[in-house]
Homo-oligomer: A and B are copies of this chain.
Amino acid sequence: MAAVTATSNTTTTTARAVGAGSPTADLAPLQIERRALGASDVRIDIKFCGICHSDIHFARGEWGEIPYPAVPGHEIAGVVAAVGSDVTGFAVGDRVGVGCMVNSCRECENCQAGNEQYCIAGNTQTYGSVDRDGTFTYGGYSDHVVVDQDFVLRIPDEIPLEEAAPLLCAGITTYSPLRHWNAGPGKQVAVVGLGGLGHMAVKFAHALGAEVTVLSQSLRKQEDGLRLGADHYYATSDDATFTALAHRFDLIINTVSAVIDMGAMLSLVKTDGALVNVGAPSEPLPVPVFPLLMQRRTFAGSGIGSIRETQEMLEFCAEHGIAADIEVISADQVNEAWERVLASDVRYRFVIDNSTLTA
């Protein structure tokens, strides 16, 4: 990292990164500028960064036009390299993480209530946002990042940094709805899709004490699912699944971003139960209303979690020996990894070893 030792708060720093120059370009090494260390900023030497499906949607412009180069990555784990003069909670050498957001308006009712993930003005995303100082945000596929202390998480010593990285998105995105909808002892919880998010949802739901069922397209990953903590594993390609599990679940966490048969899935939800999407399909989902009406079911969505809840999740992981199942890659393998993500060929999260960045 070129300028990790800089202490002036007026000097930007140059970061090695890997990013996309256009919606269709392969990722390639490049350099980006990080803002000068502000009084409340923490400069983080990034050790590992998880690869999320969102990174691909974003960089390829599938969620809207973006400026290039695009440097994604919002599952950041590293070590504090420098702190601004007003930073009190972090010191050089601390093990820290950054998730999907790096700022918010701090004034709306949600920010005031500590739910900055639902900032009404829109939170500042770790990549692809304009931050409050006017700078454009670049993600964690890079060697360092500068983030306001209020959006930095502490990674407990029990969790290896590379296994902690995916907790910052895949982890909190599944932990938060499981907590909000009260997954726990006596509750029947299903997880649709056993990918990066799904495998974390299974671990959390199990650790929270719920009876856990995986609903996957096939039984291909059944052994994994049971090992991760599922009590049952069913294939959604088999119509008998929907007969066997009718009216079974208090809560279904749907991690799949594709369009699914919502009527069939809702039929598995109990009266007053919820089907909660954490996957974000780009097309609207066709939702038949009768299955909602007839059992007062709800269809909801949930996005990441607050900083407070993310810290709680990390402590929960430390306490329960939970982390992500990962495959560590070098920076020059990112394009290949993206192809494998698109093919659902990863168990269960790629994590970039950021020491291999070469730009």
Contacts and interface: CB of A to CB of B under 8 A. Distances in A.
Interface of A: 110, 115, 118, 120, 180, 247, 262-263, 271, 274, 277-281, 284-303
| Count of chain copies | 2
A295 B286 CA distance: 20
B289 A180 contact: no
A167 to B, nearest CB: 19
A287 B287 contact: yes
Contacts of A279: 289
A80 to B, nearest CB: 31
Contacts of A297: 300-301
Given A120-B247, A262-B284, A291-B301, 4 more contacts: A110-B271, A284-B287, A287-B287, A297-B301
A290 B281 CA distance: 8
A115 B296 CA distance: 11
- Chain A contact residues, majority secondary structure: mixed
A104 to B, nearest CB: 13
B301 A277 contact: no
Given A280-B289, A284-B263, A118 B296 contact: yes
A262 B301 CA distance: 14
A298 B274 contact: yes
B301 A294 contact: yes
Contacts of A120: 247, 271
Contact of A278 (B271, B281, B293, B299): B293
A277 B299 contact: no
Given A118-B295, A294-B118, A284 B274 contact: no
Contacts of A115: 271
6 shortest interchain CB distances as A-B pairs: A292-B301, A293-B301, A284-B286, A298-B300, A293-B303, A284-B288
Q: Which residue among A115, A293, A298 has the maximum number of chain B CB atoms within 10 Å of its CB?
A: A293
A279 to B, nearest CB: 8
Contact of A294 (B262, B290, B292, B303): B303
A244 to B, nearest CB: 15
A300 B280 CA distance: 19
Contact of A285 (B118, B277, B278, B286): B286
Contacts of A302: 293, 296
26 contacts: A110-B271, A118-B271, A118-B294, A118-B295, A118-B296, A180-B296, A263-B284, A277-B292, A279-B289, A280-B289, A280-B290, A281-B289, A284-B288, A284-B289, A285-B289, A286-B287, A287-B287, A289-B301, A291-B301, A292-B301, A293-B302, A293-B303, A294-B301, A295-B303, A296-B300, A298-B300
